[in-house]
Amino acid sequence: KTVSTYKTRLLLKLNAHSLVDLIDWQLDLPAEQL
């Protein structure tokens, strides 16, 4: 369970990071403004 939980959290972090990058790209705003 510990390993799967760690993998799930890691995947969630990666997905969240990708989502932020996608939103940042769509809004066409520099990262400093966020």
- Could you state, in order of their start, the residue ranges of all structural domains in the chain? 2-33
pTM, two decimals, is: 0.45
What per-residue confidence (pLDDT) applies to 23? 77
CB-based contact 28:18 (threshold 8 Å): no
What per-residue confidence (pLDDT) applies to 32? 60
DSSP 15: H
User: Is residue 1 classed as helix, strand or coil in its secondary structure?
Assistant: coil
Token representation of residue 25: 């790209």
- Distance between CA 20 and CA 31 in Å, rounded? 10
pLDDT in tens, 5-30: 888 888 888 888 888 887 777 776 56
CB-based contact 15:5 (threshold 8 Å): no
What per-residue confidence (pLDDT) applies to 29? 56
